[in-house]
Structure 1
Amino acid sequence: MNIKIYLTFNLFFLSIAMSAQNILTAEEAMQLTLENNYGIKVANNLVKVSENNANILNSQYLPTLTGNAGATLNIDNTEAEFSNGNVTILEGAESSSYNASVNLNYVLFDGFGRRYNYKSLKEQYKLTELEARETIENTILQLFTVYYSVAQLYENKQVLEQTLNISNDRLKRADYQFNYGQATKLDVLNAEVDINNDSINLINAQQELNNAKRDLNLVTGNALQEGFNVDTNINFVVSLNKADLLQKAVEQNITLQQVNKNILINQYELKTGKSEYLPTIGLTGSYGWNKNNNNAAAFLAVFTNTGISGGLNLTWNLFDGGQTITRIKNAKVNLEIQQLQKEELLLSVKRDFNNAWDDYQNKLTVLKIQEDNIVTSQNNFDRTLEKFKLGQINSIEFRQAQLNLINAELSKNQAKYQAKIAELELLRLSGELLNYQF
């Protein structure tokens, strides 16, 4: 009886605590994940790096400007003999020189290499955006896998709480009947054993629920408050059309889009390689200042020079031993390989989509069957309970009906959330996951 009273009080206060918890909706969970998930933050920062690389400042289109300056100090011992026979000796004679210049270099033409390189950088930026989107899609799918796991475990716990309440009522009835000689001690012991088993199941379910909530908190970047619960209401997308989704999968699948972008980047790289066949024309210019302070032995004591210079140069690599030809041949082969990989990936995407569609439809069918099974199991349990109260069946038969109802409810919970996850996976494959309104 002490065990029963203890569990009753625990369940009473637990139900009060659960009712006071905040409900975390799917929309709120998604928003928190987009804002706080560390993997998404890293992906967004990589996009910023790629955006910087695709800037005009990294395109080689702009000229380079350098400044140079220097100073030299000389201390010499000098002996100068003039034509008239006079000799002048200078010890520790100082001379110095100073210079400064500004140099400009600009490539006027490089065979269109930088043009295609700049386009390649732009496409690499778009590719990084696609990679970030893939990270977001995978993270959102991970989020809702954990989110609905929490919802399933919470509903499972509610089922086990109801089971424990029924077992407590059964123990009361067995105690009452034993005290009045209408039942044996064995019926009381069986009821106590079942209460202990139901209590253990409830404790384990609570632990699994706590672990799942910690997983959910991790995915959301530790942004959840203590004492939260999730929404257990499930809405399925009733307007899904297989042909439309398959077309979107071919056009919008994130992996296929990345492959297309990589092919385009390699096409630009091939054109960049071909630009090495053409000459490079460059423009140079400089402005310089020089000043020399000579010692007394020099003809000029101070010499200063300033000037502007400019030039045009042409460089043409007529033959580099065949290295450029080899690189271009390999680039063409790699491009062909990527085209083959794209065709293979397209087949895989269609296969995965068809598998996901069938899996989704099967899980919806299983859910409908489980919901019907709940009605049957509930009717069976209600009738068994009435017979048990009238003493027409024993405790073993009653327990079996109770277990059948428990298993049916747990199976229905599992089927419901598995169907929802299958739906989300189908939307991810078709590129529609981020467009779905949760």
Structure 2
Amino acid sequence: MNLKQYVITFVIVVFAFAKAYAQETLSEVLPKEEAVSLMLENNFGIQLANNQVAISENNTSILNADYLPTISGNAGANFDRTTSNTDFGGATDQEGNPRPDIEIEGAETTRYNASINLDYTLFDGLGRYYNYKQLKEQYNLTQLQARETIENTMLQLFSVYYEVARLKENVIILEGALQVSKDRAVRAQYQFDYGQANKLQILNAKVDITTDSINVLNARQSLRNAQRDLNVVLNRDLEKTFLADTTVSFVNALVIDSHIEQAMQNNVTLLQSEQDIIISDYQIKSARALFLPTIGLTGSYGWNQSNNPASAFFPSTTSTSNSLAAGASLRWNIFDGGRSIVALKNAKIFRQSQELVKEQLQQQVQRDIANAKGDYKNALTIYDLQTQNVKTNEDNFKRSQERLKLGQITSVEFRQAQLNLLNAQVTKNAAKYTAKLAELQLLQLTGQLLNVAF
């Protein structure tokens, strides 16, 4: 096999392998909206957060607020079997004869009782009212915590989703570079056959084909790994293949500025802090309720039956009774050793701590927003610069192609122009998704991540 046949065979084999590999990984495009829907439905973290919301919602029920009375039922049964002997100690009857002993064997006594009791707290210093309010606010806090989980998971989703998109575009770019190297190898072989080039150009092209083929294979493997990462976030079959939507659009700058202006009212971390303060206010009121009396109502209905056997002096009897009782009680814990006073003081201190936490978070959020805004603008500028850089390198590459055909530059110089274009395209590709992720992080800080289209 001569050199020309070897090169052509090598190119065909590499191309066939690359085509077969591509066919394995091709699949339908997973739209962003569908990815978000799958995340909300299947992600483990979001499911756990939703369960916490459901528990908190159950806790806000009136069944958990001590507003309803407690009703209890009691019942019992007793059985007694007794053998007795009564000795009169020499006593005589009316006729003067000694009285005989009286022996009762197996005397059975049975007793039955049943009752139903009702207790109701009419007034407890408004403690249960404020506890119920706390449960309501705790439910709102749990919803905010679930929202934060969703926002963090969505950032994770798009971080991986855009990584899949970036790697897919990289594969396309690298495949284009591989095709250019293949075409150069064929052209170099023809030039060699007609005495217009030496073997060095053919060997250089062959080396470049090998390098580009390896780059394509590595990029495809990275893409496959990223697809598995996204399947983990979506909680679906790890081997399911798909393509990501590579279309990226940015939110209008005026809209971004409007979101930033309202960030302190919409940031989920600050909203949780405000909710903690509301809950601590009710904790103070609940502590104050300990200083007030408690008024309660009680009621009961009972039934009793007793079956008594005959004794030495009395015949057998059966007694049945029914009782109905109602009452009211007042309990005022005038002094409990100071525990109520300490509880109230601690509740007030905790309220002050929550205010300090809120102020600290406000400062941190303002800093994070300022940093995120700067990072976003910087990322957009870099993306614009890289876009211009690609255009410049494309022009340089096209001219290098023409000069290579005319023999005015070497294959090494052409390869350098090709690599420059390749690097510029890959860098621009990364800059695009870096800018989009920076935008999403900024939107999360402003509390608008769940309110924008992707």
TM-score by length of 2: 0.92
- Give the match for residue 372 of structure 1: 388
Residue in 2 that maps onto 1:189: 203
1:408-423 matched pairs, under 5 angstroms: 408-423=424-439
Post-superposition CA distance 1:338-383 (Å, at most 9, x none)? 1011011001111111111111111111111111111100000000
Contact 2:60 2:139 in 1 (8 A): yes
* 1:219-368 correspondence to structure 2 within 5 Å: 219-222=233-236, 226-241=240-255, 243-297=257-311, 298=314, 301-368=317-384
Q: Secondary structure at the match of 1:379?
A: helix
Is contact 1:94-1:295 (8 Å) kept?
yes
2:417 corresponds to 1:396: no
Deviation of 1:396 (Å): 1.0
Identity %: 51
SS in 2 for 1:259: helix
The total of aligned residue pairs comes to 437
Q: CA deviation at 1:79?
A: 3.1
Match of 1:63 among 44, 65, 69: 69
Residue identity opposite 1:26 in structure 2: K
Q: What letter matches 1:153 in structure 2? A: L
Partner in structure 2 of residue 44 of structure 1: 50
Q: Secondary structure at the match of 1:391?
A: coil
Partner of 1:30: 36
Structure 2: runs of 5+ lacking an equivalent: 1-6, 94-98
Contact 1:246–1:350 (Cα < 8 Å) also in 2: no
Whose Rg is larger? 2
Structure 1 alignment gaps of length 5 or more: none
1:4 to 6, 11, 19: 11
User: Cα distance, 1:184 vs. partner?
Assistant: 2.3
Deviation of the 1:418 alpha carbon: 0.7
Q: Which moved more, 1:85-94 or 1:101-110?
A: 85-94
Output the CA distance in 1 between the equivalents of 2:205 and 2:381.
37
What are the Cα deviations for residues 36-79 of structure 1, in whole angstroms up to 9, with x where unaligned?
Answer: 11111111111111111110000000000000000000011223
Q: Which amino acid aligns with 1:354?
A: A
Q: Distance in 1 between matches of 2:348 and 2:397?
A: 71
Task: Write the distance in 1 (CA, Å) between the matches of 2:237 and 2:443.
Answer: 26
Aligned partner of residue 181 in structure 1, secondary structure: coil
SS at match of 2:262: helix
Other structure's SS at 2:174 match: helix
Distance 2:143 2:237 in 1: 25
The offset of 1:115, in angstroms, is 0.4
Moved more, 219-228 or 65-74: 219-228
Contact 2:185 2:205 in 1 (8 A): yes
CA distance in 2, matches of 1:32, 1:321: 57
Distance 1:272 1:416, change over 3 A: same
Tell me by how many angstroms 1:15 deviates: 5.7
- Between 134-143 and 169-178, the greater mean CA deviation after superposition: 169-178
Could you list the per-position Cα deviations for residues 124-170 of structure 1 after superposition, in whole angstroms to 9, with x for gaps in the alignment?
11111111111111111111111111000000010000000011111
Q: Paired residue for 2:115?
A: 101
Find 1:76's aligned residue among 76, 82, 87. Answer: 82
Query: Is 1:100–1:290's contact at 8 Å kept on the other side of the alignment?
Result: yes
Q: Which amino acid aligns with 2:391?
A: V
Question: Is residue 33–residue 219 contact of structure 1 (8 Å, CA) maintained in 2?
Answer: yes
Give the letter for the 1:341 counterpart: V
- Matches of 1:199 and 1:15, distance apart in 2: 13
Closer/same/farther in 2, CA of residues 215 and 15 from structure 1, 3 Å limit: closer
| Separation of aligned partners in 2, 1:309 and 1:300 | 30
- How far is the alpha carbon of 1:172 from its aligned partner? 1.3
| Equivalent pair of 2:228/2:239 in contact (CA under 8 Å) | no
What's the offset of the Cα at 1:179? 3.0
Cα separation, 1, equivalents of 2:134 and 2:399: 73
Residue 32 of structure 1 deviates from its aligned partner by 1.1
* Selected match of 1:211 from 225, 231, 249: 225
User: Residues 63-119 of structure 1, C-alpha deviation per residue, up to 9 Å, x if partnerless?
Assistant: 000000000000112234689656422122110100000000001111110000000
| Contact residue 137 and residue 433 of structure 1 kept, 8 A | yes
Q: Which residue of 2 aligns with 1:143?
A: 157
Greater shift, 224-233 or 161-170, is seen at 224-233
Q: Partners of 2:451 and 2:101 in 1: how far apart? A: 96
1: CA distance, partners of 2:364 / 2:321? 73
What displacement does 1:226 show? Answer: 3.2
| Correspondence list, 1:113-132, <5 A | 113-132=127-146
Distance in 2 (CA, whole Å) between partners of 1:207 and 1:225 is 13
Provide the rounded CA distance (Å) in 1 between the counterparts of 2:400 and 2:325: 106
In structure 2, C-alpha distance between the alignment counterparts of 1:413 and 1:404, rounded to whole Å: 14
SS in 2 for 1:306: strand
Question: What secondary structure, in the 3-state scheme, does the structure 2 residue paired with 1:67 have?
Answer: strand
2:214 maps to 1:200: yes
Using structure 1 for the length normalisation, give the TM-score.
0.96
Question: Which amino acid in structure 1 is aligned with residue 63 of structure 2?
Answer: L
Deviations along 1:20-49, one digit per CA (max 9) or x if unpaired, are 621111111111111111111111111111
